[in-house]
Structure 1
Amino acid sequence: MTVELHEKPLHADLEAAREAAQTAGLSYAGSVTPQQAWALHQAGDAVLVDVRTAEERAFVGQVPDTLHVPWATGTSLTRNPRFVRELEAKTGKSAAIVLLCRSGNRSAQAAEAAAKAGFAQVFNVSEGFEGDLDETRRRGRQNGWRFHGLPWVQD
Protein backbone atom coordinates (compact mmCIF):
# COMPACT_ATOMS: atom_id res chain seq x y z
CA MET A 1 0.00 0.00 0.00
CA THR A 2 1.45 3.35 -1.03
CA VAL A 3 0.18 6.48 0.68
CA GLU A 4 0.59 9.75 -1.20
CA LEU A 5 -0.19 13.05 0.52
CA HIS A 6 1.47 15.38 -1.98
CA GLU A 7 -1.74 17.16 -2.97
CA LYS A 8 -1.98 19.03 0.35
CA PRO A 9 0.28 21.88 1.46
CA LEU A 10 2.40 21.09 4.50
CA HIS A 11 0.67 21.51 7.85
CA ALA A 12 1.80 24.56 9.88
CA ASP A 13 3.53 22.30 12.46
CA LEU A 14 5.58 20.70 9.69
CA GLU A 15 6.46 24.09 8.18
CA ALA A 16 7.62 25.27 11.62
CA ALA A 17 9.67 22.08 12.05
CA ARG A 18 11.24 22.63 8.62
CA GLU A 19 12.23 26.21 9.51
CA ALA A 20 13.77 25.07 12.82
CA ALA A 21 15.66 22.29 11.01
CA GLN A 22 17.08 24.73 8.48
CA THR A 23 18.24 27.00 11.29
CA ALA A 24 19.82 24.03 13.07
CA GLY A 25 21.45 22.79 9.85
CA LEU A 26 19.71 19.41 9.85
CA SER A 27 19.89 17.35 6.67
CA TYR A 28 16.26 16.22 6.99
CA ALA A 29 13.05 18.24 7.17
CA GLY A 30 12.86 18.55 10.98
CA SER A 31 11.33 17.13 14.15
CA VAL A 32 7.89 17.18 15.70
CA THR A 33 6.71 16.22 19.18
CA PRO A 34 4.82 12.99 19.78
CA GLN A 35 1.62 15.01 20.29
CA GLN A 36 2.11 16.80 16.97
CA ALA A 37 2.88 13.51 15.22
CA TRP A 38 -0.33 11.94 16.50
CA ALA A 39 -2.43 14.97 15.49
CA LEU A 40 -0.82 15.05 12.02
CA HIS A 41 -1.42 11.31 11.59
CA GLN A 42 -5.04 11.55 12.75
CA ALA A 43 -5.76 14.48 10.42
CA GLY A 44 -4.16 12.76 7.44
CA ASP A 45 -1.52 15.48 7.18
CA ALA A 46 1.39 13.03 7.56
CA VAL A 47 2.11 9.31 7.38
CA LEU A 48 3.38 7.90 10.68
CA VAL A 49 6.02 5.23 10.14
CA ASP A 50 7.49 3.18 13.00
CA VAL A 51 11.15 2.41 12.28
CA ARG A 52 11.74 0.18 15.33
CA THR A 53 12.29 -3.56 15.05
CA ALA A 54 9.40 -5.99 14.81
CA GLU A 55 10.43 -7.28 18.24
CA GLU A 56 10.19 -3.82 19.82
CA ARG A 57 6.76 -3.28 18.33
CA ALA A 58 5.53 -6.67 19.57
CA PHE A 59 6.98 -6.60 23.08
CA VAL A 60 7.13 -2.89 23.96
CA GLY A 61 4.05 -1.69 22.07
CA GLN A 62 3.12 0.21 18.94
CA VAL A 63 0.93 2.98 17.67
CA PRO A 64 -2.21 1.54 16.06
CA ASP A 65 -2.84 1.95 12.34
CA THR A 66 0.68 3.03 11.41
CA LEU A 67 3.16 1.74 8.87
CA HIS A 68 6.26 -0.25 9.80
CA VAL A 69 9.59 0.01 8.00
CA PRO A 70 12.43 -1.13 10.26
CA TRP A 71 15.60 0.97 10.23
CA ALA A 72 17.40 -1.98 11.81
CA THR A 73 16.39 -5.58 12.45
CA GLY A 74 16.73 -8.19 15.17
CA THR A 75 18.07 -7.87 18.68
CA SER A 76 21.52 -6.92 17.33
CA LEU A 77 19.96 -3.96 15.46
CA THR A 78 21.49 -4.87 12.12
CA ARG A 79 20.96 -1.96 9.72
CA ASN A 80 18.23 -2.69 7.17
CA PRO A 81 19.88 -2.16 3.75
CA ARG A 82 16.45 -1.97 2.09
CA PHE A 83 15.09 0.78 4.38
CA VAL A 84 14.87 3.55 1.75
CA ARG A 85 13.35 1.25 -0.89
CA GLU A 86 10.79 -0.13 1.58
CA LEU A 87 9.89 3.36 2.79
CA GLU A 88 9.39 4.57 -0.77
CA ALA A 89 7.26 1.54 -1.63
CA LYS A 90 4.96 2.21 1.33
CA THR A 91 4.78 6.02 1.26
CA GLY A 92 6.18 7.43 -1.95
CA LYS A 93 8.87 10.11 -1.90
CA SER A 94 6.55 13.11 -1.92
CA ALA A 95 4.46 12.25 1.15
CA ALA A 96 4.87 14.10 4.45
CA ILE A 97 6.33 11.36 6.66
CA VAL A 98 7.01 11.30 10.40
CA LEU A 99 9.36 8.58 11.65
CA LEU A 100 9.10 7.09 15.15
CA CYS A 101 11.63 4.97 17.06
CA ARG A 102 12.35 4.29 20.74
CA SER A 103 13.95 7.63 21.66
CA GLY A 104 14.17 9.71 18.48
CA ASN A 105 17.77 8.76 17.69
CA ARG A 106 17.31 5.95 15.15
CA SER A 107 14.41 7.78 13.53
CA ALA A 108 16.67 10.83 13.09
CA GLN A 109 19.26 8.59 11.39
CA ALA A 110 16.50 7.11 9.23
CA ALA A 111 15.27 10.61 8.35
CA GLU A 112 18.80 11.59 7.30
CA ALA A 113 19.07 8.54 5.05
CA ALA A 114 15.64 9.19 3.54
CA ALA A 115 16.46 12.85 2.90
CA LYS A 116 19.72 11.85 1.23
CA ALA A 117 17.68 9.49 -1.00
CA GLY A 118 15.40 12.33 -2.13
CA PHE A 119 12.55 12.35 0.40
CA ALA A 120 11.84 16.07 0.84
CA GLN A 121 9.27 15.89 3.63
CA VAL A 122 10.59 13.36 6.14
CA PHE A 123 10.44 14.35 9.80
CA ASN A 124 11.60 12.79 13.06
CA VAL A 125 9.37 12.28 16.11
CA SER A 126 11.43 13.72 18.95
CA GLU A 127 11.35 11.79 22.24
CA GLY A 128 10.33 8.59 20.41
CA PHE A 129 7.98 5.92 21.71
CA GLU A 130 9.65 5.33 25.08
CA GLY A 131 11.46 8.63 25.64
CA ASP A 132 14.86 9.48 27.05
CA LEU A 133 16.68 7.64 29.81
CA ASP A 134 16.20 9.18 33.24
CA GLU A 135 18.79 9.35 36.04
CA THR A 136 18.08 5.68 36.92
CA ARG A 137 18.59 4.67 33.24
CA ARG A 138 14.92 3.92 32.65
CA ARG A 139 12.75 5.18 29.84
CA GLY A 140 9.16 6.41 29.87
CA ARG A 141 9.35 8.51 33.01
CA GLN A 142 9.97 11.97 31.58
CA ASN A 143 8.92 12.05 27.94
CA GLY A 144 8.02 9.95 24.90
CA TRP A 145 4.86 8.75 23.18
CA ARG A 146 3.62 6.54 26.02
CA PHE A 147 4.56 9.08 28.71
CA HIS A 148 2.26 11.63 27.05
CA GLY A 149 -0.63 9.14 27.12
CA LEU A 150 -0.97 8.90 23.34
CA PRO A 151 -2.68 5.81 21.86
CA TRP A 152 -0.71 2.57 21.72
CA VAL A 153 -1.34 -1.17 21.82
CA GLN A 154 0.72 -4.19 22.78
CA ASP A 155 0.72 -7.72 21.38
Structure 2
Amino acid sequence: MTVELQEKPLHADLEAARGNAQAAGLPYAGSVTPQQAWALHQADEAVLVDVRTSEERKFVGHVPDTLHVAWATGTSFTRNPRFVRELEAKTGKGVAVVLLCRSGNRSAQAAEAAAKAGFAHVFNVAEGFEGELDEAGHRGSSNGWRFHGLPWVQD
Protein backbone atom coordinates (compact mmCIF):
# COMPACT_ATOMS: atom_id res chain seq x y z
CA MET A 1 0.00 0.00 0.00
CA THR A 2 1.33 3.44 -0.93
CA VAL A 3 -0.16 6.61 0.49
CA GLU A 4 -0.87 9.64 -1.66
CA LEU A 5 -1.31 12.51 0.79
CA GLN A 6 -0.91 16.16 0.00
CA GLU A 7 1.23 18.32 2.23
CA LYS A 8 -1.00 20.33 4.54
CA PRO A 9 -0.71 22.23 7.81
CA LEU A 10 0.03 19.98 10.77
CA HIS A 11 -2.73 19.00 13.17
CA ALA A 12 -2.62 20.80 16.54
CA ASP A 13 -1.54 17.59 18.32
CA LEU A 14 1.46 17.29 16.00
CA GLU A 15 2.38 20.95 16.43
CA ALA A 16 2.25 20.48 20.21
CA ALA A 17 4.41 17.36 19.94
CA ARG A 18 6.90 19.29 17.80
CA GLY A 19 7.10 22.05 20.42
CA ASN A 20 7.71 19.50 23.18
CA ALA A 21 10.37 17.78 21.08
CA GLN A 22 12.18 21.04 20.38
CA ALA A 23 12.14 21.91 24.08
CA ALA A 24 13.54 18.46 24.91
CA GLY A 25 16.14 18.62 22.13
CA LEU A 26 14.86 15.54 20.33
CA PRO A 27 16.38 14.89 16.88
CA TYR A 28 12.95 14.20 15.31
CA ALA A 29 9.59 15.99 15.28
CA GLY A 30 8.26 14.53 18.52
CA SER A 31 6.04 11.87 20.06
CA VAL A 32 2.29 11.35 20.31
CA THR A 33 0.25 8.99 22.45
CA PRO A 34 -1.30 5.87 20.94
CA GLN A 35 -4.72 7.50 21.22
CA GLN A 36 -3.52 10.59 19.35
CA ALA A 37 -1.86 8.42 16.69
CA TRP A 38 -5.10 6.52 16.09
CA ALA A 39 -7.15 9.72 15.88
CA LEU A 40 -4.64 11.30 13.49
CA HIS A 41 -4.64 8.15 11.33
CA GLN A 42 -8.45 7.98 11.28
CA ALA A 43 -8.71 11.67 10.30
CA ASP A 44 -6.05 11.32 7.55
CA GLU A 45 -3.91 13.86 9.41
CA ALA A 46 -0.92 11.49 9.53
CA VAL A 47 0.27 8.26 7.95
CA LEU A 48 0.69 5.51 10.53
CA VAL A 49 3.65 3.26 9.73
CA ASP A 50 4.50 0.12 11.71
CA VAL A 51 8.30 -0.29 11.88
CA ARG A 52 8.32 -3.65 13.66
CA THR A 53 9.43 -6.85 11.99
CA SER A 54 7.08 -8.86 9.78
CA GLU A 55 7.19 -11.58 12.43
CA GLU A 56 6.02 -9.20 15.16
CA ARG A 57 3.15 -7.97 13.02
CA LYS A 58 2.07 -11.52 12.18
CA PHE A 59 2.36 -13.14 15.59
CA VAL A 60 1.74 -10.24 18.01
CA GLY A 61 -0.76 -8.29 15.93
CA HIS A 62 -0.93 -5.01 14.04
CA VAL A 63 -3.08 -1.96 13.47
CA PRO A 64 -5.43 -2.48 10.51
CA ASP A 65 -5.02 -0.42 7.34
CA THR A 66 -1.55 0.87 8.15
CA LEU A 67 1.71 0.77 6.27
CA HIS A 68 4.68 -1.43 7.15
CA VAL A 69 8.34 -0.56 6.73
CA ALA A 70 10.58 -2.65 8.96
CA TRP A 71 13.28 -0.75 10.87
CA ALA A 72 14.97 -4.09 11.51
CA THR A 73 14.31 -7.58 10.21
CA GLY A 74 14.18 -11.11 11.53
CA THR A 75 14.43 -12.37 15.06
CA SER A 76 17.94 -10.91 15.37
CA PHE A 77 16.62 -7.41 14.56
CA THR A 78 19.13 -6.83 11.78
CA ARG A 79 18.94 -3.14 10.84
CA ASN A 80 17.19 -2.60 7.49
CA PRO A 81 19.66 -0.54 5.40
CA ARG A 82 16.83 0.42 3.00
CA PHE A 83 14.50 1.76 5.71
CA VAL A 84 14.63 5.43 4.69
CA ARG A 85 14.26 4.68 0.97
CA GLU A 86 11.34 2.32 1.61
CA LEU A 87 9.64 4.82 3.90
CA GLU A 88 10.03 7.60 1.33
CA ALA A 89 8.65 5.38 -1.43
CA LYS A 90 5.52 4.67 0.62
CA THR A 91 4.89 8.07 2.20
CA GLY A 92 7.01 10.85 0.72
CA LYS A 93 9.08 13.20 2.87
CA GLY A 94 6.65 16.09 3.27
CA VAL A 95 3.61 14.48 4.90
CA ALA A 96 3.10 13.82 8.61
CA VAL A 97 4.31 10.30 9.41
CA VAL A 98 3.79 8.57 12.76
CA LEU A 99 5.98 5.53 13.46
CA LEU A 100 4.93 2.64 15.71
CA CYS A 101 7.06 -0.17 17.18
CA ARG A 102 6.78 -2.49 20.20
CA SER A 103 7.60 0.02 22.97
CA GLY A 104 8.45 3.33 21.30
CA ASN A 105 12.22 2.79 21.31
CA ARG A 106 12.88 1.46 17.80
CA SER A 107 10.34 3.86 16.33
CA ALA A 108 12.21 6.75 17.99
CA GLN A 109 15.44 5.52 16.36
CA ALA A 110 13.63 5.20 13.04
CA ALA A 111 12.15 8.69 13.42
CA GLU A 112 15.62 10.09 14.06
CA ALA A 113 17.01 8.38 10.94
CA ALA A 114 14.10 9.64 8.84
CA ALA A 115 14.49 13.19 10.16
CA LYS A 116 18.20 13.12 9.33
CA ALA A 117 17.26 11.96 5.82
CA GLY A 118 15.04 15.00 5.32
CA PHE A 119 11.58 13.90 6.45
CA ALA A 120 9.97 17.12 7.64
CA HIS A 121 7.26 15.72 9.93
CA VAL A 122 8.19 12.34 11.37
CA PHE A 123 6.83 11.44 14.82
CA ASN A 124 7.08 8.53 17.23
CA VAL A 125 4.21 6.74 18.98
CA ALA A 126 5.19 6.78 22.64
CA GLU A 127 4.50 3.50 24.49
CA GLY A 128 4.40 1.55 21.20
CA PHE A 129 2.13 -1.35 20.36
CA GLU A 130 2.81 -3.53 23.39
CA GLY A 131 3.92 -0.95 25.94
CA GLU A 132 6.85 -0.78 28.32
CA LEU A 133 8.04 -3.61 30.53
CA ASP A 134 6.52 -3.71 34.01
CA GLU A 135 8.31 -4.78 37.21
CA ALA A 136 7.60 -8.44 36.36
CA GLY A 137 9.14 -8.07 32.89
CA HIS A 138 5.81 -8.18 31.05
CA ARG A 139 4.46 -5.80 28.44
CA GLY A 140 0.90 -4.57 28.06
CA SER A 141 -0.01 -4.20 31.72
CA SER A 142 0.35 -0.43 32.03
CA ASN A 143 0.50 1.21 28.61
CA GLY A 144 0.77 0.70 24.86
CA TRP A 145 -1.60 0.54 21.91
CA ARG A 146 -3.28 -2.71 22.93
CA PHE A 147 -3.49 -1.73 26.61
CA HIS A 148 -5.51 1.35 25.62
CA GLY A 149 -7.98 -0.83 23.70
CA LEU A 150 -7.22 0.69 20.31
CA PRO A 151 -8.03 -1.32 17.15
CA TRP A 152 -5.71 -4.16 16.16
CA VAL A 153 -5.88 -7.49 14.39
CA GLN A 154 -3.86 -10.66 14.54
CA ASP A 155 -3.08 -13.21 11.82
TM range (shorter): over 0.9
Q: How many residue pairs were aligned?
A: 155
Aligned pair in 2 of structure 1 residues 119, 143: CA closer, same or farther (>3 Å)?
same
Match of 1:95 in 2: 95
Same amino acid, percent of matched pairs: 85
| Structure 2 residue matching 1:110: 3-state secondary structure | helix
* C-alpha distance in 1 between matches for 2:96 and 2:56: 24
Q: Does 1:60 align with 2:52?
A: no
**Preserved contact between residue 29 and residue 123 of structure 2 (Cα < 8 Å):** yes
Match of 2:70 in 1: 70
CA deviation after TM superposition for structure 1 residue 5, in Å: 3.2
Match of 1:128 in 2: 128
CA deviation after TM superposition for structure 1 residue 6, in Å: 3.8
CA deviation after TM superposition for structure 1 residue 4, in Å: 4.0
**Preserved contact between residue 8 and residue 95 of structure 2 (Cα < 8 Å):** no
CA deviation after TM superposition for structure 1 residue 2, in Å: 3.7
With normalisation by structure 1, the TM-score equals 0.98
Question: Deviation string for 1:103-135 (max 9, x for gaps)?
Answer: 000000000000000001000000000000001
| Paired AA for residue 117 in structure 1 | A
Match of 1:145 in 2: 145
Match of 2:31 in 1: 31
**Preserved contact between residue 73 and residue 80 of structure 1 (Cα < 8 Å):** yes
| Paired AA for residue 27 in structure 2 | S
| Paired AA for residue 19 in structure 2 | E
| Paired AA for residue 67 in structure 1 | L
* C-alpha distance in 1 between matches for 2:43 and 2:137: 35
| Structure 2 residue matching 1:108: 3-state secondary structure | helix
**Preserved contact between residue 5 and residue 45 of structure 1 (Cα < 8 Å):** no
* C-alpha distance in 2 between matches for 1:137 and 1:8: 41
Match of 1:45 in 2: 45
| Structure 2 residue matching 1:109: 3-state secondary structure | helix
| Paired AA for residue 40 in structure 1 | L
CA deviation after TM superposition for structure 1 residue 8, in Å: 1.9
| Structure 2 residue matching 1:98: 3-state secondary structure | strand
**Preserved contact between residue 4 and residue 94 of structure 1 (Cα < 8 Å):** no
* C-alpha distance in 1 between matches for 2:127 and 2:106: 11
* C-alpha distance in 1 between matches for 2:126 and 2:81: 24
